[in-house]
Structure 1
Amino acid sequence: MNVESFVRLEEMENGLYQLVLDAADARMNILSKAAIASLEQAIAQLPLASIKGLLITSAKDSFVAGADITEFCDSFAQSADTIFDYSMKVHRLFNRIEDLPFPTVAAVRGEALGGGMELALCADYRVVTEQARLGLPEVNLGIMPGWGGSVRLPRLIGVDNALTWMTQGRPMKAADALRAGVADAVVADDKLAAAALKVLQQAVDGRLKYLPRRGLKTRAMTLNELELAMACDTAEGMVSMFSSDHYPAARTIVQSVRASVRMNRETAGAHESRDFIQLANTAVSRSLVNLFLSDQALKRKNRQYANTGQAVAQAAVLGAGIMGGGVAYQSASTGTPILMKDITSQALEAGTAEANRLMLGQLKRKKMQPQQALATSQRIQSTLDYKGFDHADLVVEAVVENPNIKRAVLAEVEQQVGRDCVLATNTSTLTVKELVSELQRPENFCGMHFFNPVHRMPLVEIIRGEQTSDAAVSRAVSYALAMKKVPIVVNDCPGFLVNRVLLPYVHAFARLVIDGVDFERIDQVMERFGWPMGPATLADIVGMDTGHHAEGLIAAAYPDRYLTGVKTPTDALFAAGRLGQKSGAGYYRYEADKRGKLKKSSDPAAYDVIQSVVSGSLLLTDDDIVQRMMIPLCLEAMRCLEEGIADAVADIDVALINGVGFPRYLGGAFGYMDSVGLQDFVSQCDHYSDLGMAYQPTARLRDMAAAGQCFYAPESATSSVTSASANRV
């Protein structure tokens, strides 16, 4: 192997050398198995007698982004002994770097995450740039640091701080790293090399005592039992507050550190590796790794779209309601100026008030500085006419959900914009096909479905109509990315992707209630299963009027999978004027607390209304409830895949995670079916076959189950199934 395929050694002056991390033909440094082998060879070949001090640096914009996650599932599928042996091989390499007979300094710019952070921790000192991000985010993949991170970090910054870094799993800013003691200096990017060399020279000259610092990372910690118990118990309490039993990694990290701080470096490293392997063998880790890879695959698709499309320099939104105001705020707060038009001054004032409310909330939470809020407000221009629309690159239509009004407004605005301007409808219940008929340039028209509330929900569906051009799709994707959203390109159909897949889940809930199952119990079961809220609570938040309208349209589009001519609980509550949170009562009653936050409580009156549609008294287990809720959702996702509504299982799963809060630990609908096993999942479907087509597997799913296949190939952790039309990018 050519050592310089990942790292090269360069002599500088006065006995100082630098080890430059520079992966060939790659945008960033990743610690793949090949990179580890290259680094191992480079360390073995160091001219130890000639070196007085070593600088570890990167030729990329980042230090090291982490381990090569594409290798994870292949590695995790091996025997525990094989995984352990490789982990200990990396431990020995990092220990050797830490034990070099001269001082070492890591010069960090950009990201030093996961394995990259663990490599930086081996150095005696760390000098980082102001924009650097450092962290051990392994918990987000259902695992823990496996190359010494949980050993070195507590010894460097204390058990309590280290557990916070590792259990939260978020990259820390340079200033936070300096305060904690992870970084020894923070400098401007153009000063990094000089500053790191200065620190290294001071260590070589003896002005900085590096050996005592090094010793702290290699010996057992000496804190007393009370200190250790307080740090670990506090961390476990925080984990219990923010992490459910579905995510065991954070608790394992705390327990592992509690045990290993009393060990020396070598023993603690072996202990860490065993705990790492225990987590790596869980279904949760496999799901989260697959989800990460799916997210990366979608990002690559979106970059391809954006790279071929024109960026949006000036946007516009038609309609200044909650959605219009939300779109205006999100666009302006992320840097794209936007015109907000409506037909009355009162409507514009309401839209402006919504944008101001969102800005005020960000200011209160210190997520936005006053100067940023001022700049955001200046990027929103309210108007009652079309002045300035001729300079718009993209217009989002967000008027009332009425096809006649939408068609008229779209035809009108088309006459006011340039020939290349893209028009995007924000409809959630109508199709692109229904709204395109009055347009003279249908190739410039697409859907752009934002989820409510716009500023919080990450997903945006970009809907390609039959006549929509690639240029229009690319510009819409580019705009969504500029707004810091997660765009997914889907083909046109009633409900698009996310609502079409979600509504069978909602309908399954209605059927359970009709069959006599308590809606509060269903909420509790599904929340324990991992959903952020139960289906009854979700209905109250969406609004019974909106739900009644959407369910009716979706049921009409796919009548074979819905009850027809049957009054649902949503219908009954809607007729009774119980619209959910917006009216103060739906399935539950809502009252504002002292801080103005709505609090939910049980309401016997809701049961009185719902009783009129209940026609059964089924006694079901919790597993029965979960299966009856999840099967229709998963089967609809499968139909969307087969029909080419989305390109791949990875896209659909990422969309469900970001659009409706599908439990992350399951990895999406297809990840969930894999975790159940397709043969067992099909058997579950057959058990409920009397409930109709909503519970009938497709022929393709039956064939996959019979062949022992899965959606995510274990050997590659990438989605193994794509739609018949997955050739657009």
Structure 2
Amino acid sequence: MTESQVLVSYRVENGIATFTLNNAPVNALSLAVRTQLQENLEQAVNDASVTAIVITSALPMFSAGADISEFSDAPQSPMLPDVLNAIEQAPKPVVAVLPGPAFGGGLELALACHYRISVADNKVGLPEVNLGILPGAGGTQRLPRLASAVTALEMIVTGKPRPVLELKGVFDKLADNQQHLADIVSDYIGTLSASDVRPTCENSLSMDQQTQAVFEQYQTGVEKKMKGFFAPAQCIEAVKAAFTLPFAQGLKREQELFMACMDTPQARAQQHFFFAERAASHVSDFDKTTETRAIKSVAVIGAGTMGGGIAMNFANAGIPVTLVEREQSALDKGLSVIRKNYESSMRKGRISEGDVEQRMAMLSPATDMSAINDADLVIEAVFEKLEVKQAVFEQMDAVCKRGAILATNTSTLDINQIAAVTSRPSDVIGLHFFSPANVMKLLEVVKTSDTSADVIKSCMQMAKRIKKVPVLVGVCFGFVGNRMLEPYAREANRLLLEGATPERIDRVITDFGMPMGPFTMGDMAGLDIGYFVRQSRQQAIAHDPSYAVVSDRLVEQGRVGLKAGKGVYLYEEGSRVPIPDPAVLDIAREEAQRLGIAQREDISDEEILVRCLYTLINEGAQILEEGIADKPSDIDVIYVYGYGFPVYRGGPMHYADEIGPATLLERLEHYQKACGEYGSMWLTASDLVKKLAAENKTFGAYQKEQSHA
């Protein structure tokens, strides 16, 4: 075996055999790693001079677990459960030494050892549920034997990591820091004899009344909070098996449940999304040789809801922010809202009082544009009107230093036209934060026709620094997310005209898994926002006199949504619960009669879903044709993180693959014909959907073909 092939090194010193994982970057437990672990174990067991075994890591992370890229391959021996069973049955004490985090199979490896040592500030977890599966190498059977039913359920059902300090039944010794770890390990192993073997599997469990109540509580919680997901309920069943079955049978039950999870659309969707999020960072607009611009200070122009939220992201990351407003009163209000947001987080225990003051200290208020003259990145977050933004960019161009990145937070406008008013269009880019900007993870990074590669790369890296998920897109109306939302909202409004009620349309969409339906979402955002966008797009929609006509009527009556106490729905003071209003149906009937649209009672749930959701997917296909989005998986990331598309469906383009492009095409064509002139106007399938259906291919296959083109 060559040096480069050694992923688990083997060393014996003073009777201690040390296996050191070194499979960069995260010690994935690939076939080669599993094989070398097994070979090393056999060697150590057969070496009479070895009295104890240590399994540790040369990398900062102990192990991130299974190599997920192997999931699509046929299983190859040795399988991880078999390797871990062999470790547990070793006749010599085996000590797992975790210098850093252990997740999934990495933690299962540690659980199979007889003893566990780590550092006090470490975290470990079993996040498999986030991939639509459950721990499949004994984690559901060993963790409850070391911790408790509550701890095991919390870790396995939620997938959230836990500090090792909270897992005293799991870890036998904790070093104060990395420097003391080696001494702690040496001292602890010195207390062990060759016969101090302590297999986790020998810890007995039983199902008493108290434990039974814990399982019932978790089952109820899963049904309420994790509707649509398949794996959480299976996780509960697997942990329950540790209390009701002998260990060997519990492992068998775990494997049965693991395989049941693997063969589900939810697992396919969640694993697709895992890769999609990582693929979003891989773009062709720059490479490793592209230099980046240092972003050490930021300015945000506009201290309203968006501007304040954007500023918080940078303050949270320790980046100084100059916050600019024209009027002192608006500036004071914006800073007050930011402070209230931080203090709310403090009351919830998420940050300390010191954190509040430290982050507020990162903000420098100003009413003079000259205050931004030394900022590395300037983000405009003013009123969503082209002329207003162009005027601000002219000022930015005059004041900002050369080399500064000039960004706009517009959600719909043509950034090429904004960049055109500057003397440096290559420095201009779109940074479309989603509201609330300090909470939402998505950041659409919008390149113009002139944006330079170093600006794109700098912004993509900056996004990760402020804990956002960046997706690079091109310029068009609404970019990717809002452009796809347009047909979704349009069809919901048209269905209202045709006779469906807002609450029924919303119910169909939430039953599908969206966090709220189109009418509730419109009320929450403010119906006036869509109204102003439509006013600016009259040329594109004037050919359809029915276009969102009921929403227009509501706005003109002052019914702009939750903030007014009435929109499509009514709201009691202080409540966000929508109350259906028959007056809205009266408006819909009046407008339908005026426009000659027949209202009908035969609108099915399927029609609502197809016309709202399938048209959204179809728009995504057109966006791909135009090159606005680089790949289908990028659209999925945008929709899961920006619009709450259920991750257990993988995003709209992955969902289209699950139903099949042929079905997507057939349903679109069916309603195109059924809707007559209106259908011809709006429901025509894109060329890409037609192509994939004809060739019996998926968007996933299309993405692979494009990546190799």
TM-score band (shorter)?
over 0.9
State yes or no: 1:8 paired with 2:6.
Answer: no
Corresponding residue SS for 2:454: helix
Question: 1:32–1:554: structure 2 CA closer, same or farther, 3 Å change rule?
Answer: farther
Q: Is the 8 A contact 1:156 1:217 kept in 2?
A: no
- Please state if 1:189 is matched with 2:178: yes
Look up the match of 1:80.
none
Among 405, 412, 415, the residue aligned to 2:388: 405
Q: Which amino acid aligns with 2:704?
A: S
Q: What secondary structure sits across from 2:20 in the alignment?
A: strand
Task: State the match for 2:683 in structure 1.
Answer: 695
- What is residue 698 of structure 2 aligned with on the other side? 710
Specify the alignment match of 1:272 in structure 2: 254
Aligned mate of 2:552, from 568, 571, 586: 571
Number of the residue aligned with 1:62: 61
CA contact (8 A) 2:117 2:171 kept: no
* TM-score (normalised: structure 2): 0.93
2:656 to 673, 677, 682: 673
Instruction: Report if aligned partners of 1:63, 1:108 keep a CA contact under 8 Å in 2.
Output: yes
Partner of 1:446, secondary structure, is strand
Question: In structure 2, what is the Cα distance between the partners aligned to 1:176 and 1:490?
Answer: 43
Structure 2 SS opposite 1:572: helix
Q: Is the 8 A contact 2:205 2:242 kept in 1?
A: no
SS at match of 2:191: helix
Does 1:122 find its partner at 2:112?
A: yes
> Which segment drifts farther, 301-310 or 90-99?
301-310
When normalised by structure 1's length, the TM-score is: 0.91
Task: Tell me which residue corresponds to 2:676.
Answer: none
Q: Residue 277 of structure 2 corresponds to which residue in structure 1? A: 295
- Classify the secondary structure of the residue corresponding to 2:49: coil
When residues 259 and 695 of structure 1 are mapped into structure 2, their CA distance, relative to the original with a 3 A threshold, is: same
CA RMSD of aligned residues (A): 2.4
Tell which deviates more after alignment, 639-648 or 122-131. 122-131
Q: CA deviation at 1:222?
A: 3.0
Match of 1:659 among 642, 649, 666: 642
Which residue type is aligned with residue 128 of structure 1?
S
Q: Please report how far the alpha carbon of residue 538 of structure 1 lies from its aligned counterpart in structure 2 after TM superposition.
A: 0.3
What's the counterpart of residue 19 of structure 2? 19
C-alpha distance in structure 1 between counterparts of 2:360 and 2:374, whole Å: 19
- Distance verdict in 2 for CA 1:552–1:277, change over 3 Å: farther
Q: By how many angstroms is 1:534 displaced?
A: 0.9
Aligned partner letter, 2:61: S
Q: Cα 1:669–1:16, aligned 2, differ >3 Å: closer, same or farther?
A: same
Cα gap change, 1:605/1:257 in structure 2, threshold over 3 Å: closer, same or farther?
A: same
The equivalences for 1:516-527 within 5 A come to 516-527=499-510
Paired with 1:17 and 1:34, the residues of 2 have a C-alpha distance of: 20
SS of residue paired to 1:488: strand
Structure 2 residue runs without a partner (length 5+): 674-678
Deviations 1:513-553 (A, max 9, x none): 11100110111111111001111110001101001123454
Q: How big is the shift at 1:7?
A: 0.5
Name 1:79's counterpart in structure 2.
none
Match of 1:418 in 2: 401
Deviation of 1:623 (Å): 2.0
Deviations 1:480-530 (A, max 9, x none): 222211111111111111100111111111111111001101111111110
**Could you say if the C-alpha distance between residues 375 and 300 of structure 1 is closer, same or farther in structure 2, counting changes exceeding 3 Å?**
farther
Percent identity reads 30
For the Cα contact (< 8 Å) 1:219–1:263, is it kept in 2? no
Matches within 5 A, 1:284-363: 284-301=266-283, 308-363=291-346
For residues 19 and 144 of structure 1, the distance between their equivalents in structure 2, rounded to whole angstroms, comes to: 27
Aligned length: 696
Q: Deviations over 1:1-40 (max 9, x none)?
A: 6695220111222x122110112xx222101222222222
What is the distance in 1 between the residues matched to 2:577 and 2:497? 26
Would the aligned equivalents of 2:296 and 2:376 in 1 still touch at CA under 8 Å?
yes
Q: 1:254 aligns with which of 202, 226, 236?
A: 236
Specify the alignment match of 2:425 in structure 1: 442
1:100 shift after superposition: 1.4
Compared with structure 1, are the counterparts of its residues 556 and 660 closer, same or farther at alpha carbon in structure 2 (3 Å cutoff)? Answer: farther
For structure 1, list consecutive stretches of 5 or more residues without a partner in the other structure: 76-82
1:253-312 Cα shifts (integer Å, max 9, x gaps): 112222343333322212211110111011110111011011122245599689742231
* C-alpha distance in structure 2 between counterparts of 1:287 and 1:37, whole Å: 30
Matched, 1:513 2:477: no
The amino acid that maps onto 2:511 is: R
**In structure 1, which of residues 391, 395, 403 is the aligned counterpart of residue 378 of structure 2?**
395
Moved more, 401-410 or 39-48: 39-48
Distance 1:327 1:306, change over 3 A: farther
Contact 1:174 1:186 in 2 (8 A): no
Map Cα deviations across residues 57-98 of structure 1 (whole Å, 9 max, x no partner): 0001100011111121334xxxxxxx5x86x84322111101
Q: State the one-letter code of the partner of 2:560.
A: L
SS at match of 1:134: strand
Alignment match of 1:221 (pick from 205, 208, 213):
205
What's the CA shift for 1:659?
1.0
For residue 160 of structure 2, the aligned residue among 160, 170, 182 is 170
> Superposed, which structure 2 residues align to 1:484-499 within 5 Å?
484-499=467-482
Residue 554 of structure 2 aligns to which amino acid in structure 1?
L
Kept after mapping to 2: 8 A contact 1:219/1:265 = no
**Aligned partners of 2:190, 2:180: CA distance in 1, in Å?**
15
Post-superposition Cα deviations, 1:306-361, rounded to whole Å, max 9, x if no partner, equal 97422310000111111111111221112111001111101111211121121111
Query: Relative contact order, CA 8 A, sep 6+: which one is greater?
Result: 1
For residues 404 and 89 of structure 1, the distance between their equivalents in structure 2, rounded to whole angstroms, comes to: 63
Moved more, 341-350 or 181-190: 181-190
Cα offset for 1:687?
1.0
Q: Which residue does 2:147 correspond to in 1?
A: 157
1:31 to 25, 29, 32: 29
Q: Is the 8 A contact 1:64 1:111 kept in 2?
A: yes
Deviations 1:211-267 (A, max 9, x none): 4x52x523552343x2342121111122122100x2111101112222343333322
> Cα deviation per residue 1:661-690 (whole Å; 9 max; x = unaligned)?
112111111111111012222111111123
Is contact 1:580-1:586 (8 Å) kept? Answer: yes
Amino acid at match of 2:180: K
After TM superposition, give the deviation of residue 700 of structure 1 in Å.
2.7
Asked whether the 8 Å contact 1:65–1:114 carries over to 2, the reply is yes
SS at match of 2:130: helix
Q: What is the rounded CA distance, in whole Å, between the counterparts of 2:192 and 2:150 in structure 1?
A: 29
Give the Cα–Cα distance (whole angstroms) in 1 for the partners of residues 528 and 288 of structure 2.
Answer: 36
Decide whether the 8 Å contact of 2:290 with 2:454 is kept in 1: no
Q: Secondary structure of the equivalent of 1:316?
A: strand
Q: Distance in 2 between matches of 1:584 and 1:658?
A: 28
User: Bigger CA drift: 168-177 or 598-607?
Assistant: 598-607
Q: Is the 8 A contact 2:121 2:165 kept in 1?
A: no
Residues 294 and 719 in structure 1, CA contact (< 8 A), matched pair in contact too: no
**1:17 counterpart SS class:** strand
Q: Which residue of 2 aligns with 1:145?
A: 135
Describe the shift of the 1:448–1:281 C-alpha distance in structure 2 as closer, same or farther (beyond 3 A): same
Which residue of the partner structure matches residue 613 of structure 1? 591
Report the Cα distance in structure 1 between the residues aligned to 2:143 and 2:272, rounded to whole angstroms. Answer: 28
Partner of 2:373, secondary structure, is: helix
Native 8 Å contact 2:118 2:171 kept in 1: no
The alignment partner of 1:396 has SS state of strand
Find the residue that maps to 1:629 and give its secondary structure: helix
Aligned counterpart, 2:458: 475
Residue 581 of structure 1 aligns to which amino acid in structure 2?
Answer: L
Structure 1 position 165, deviation (Å): 0.8
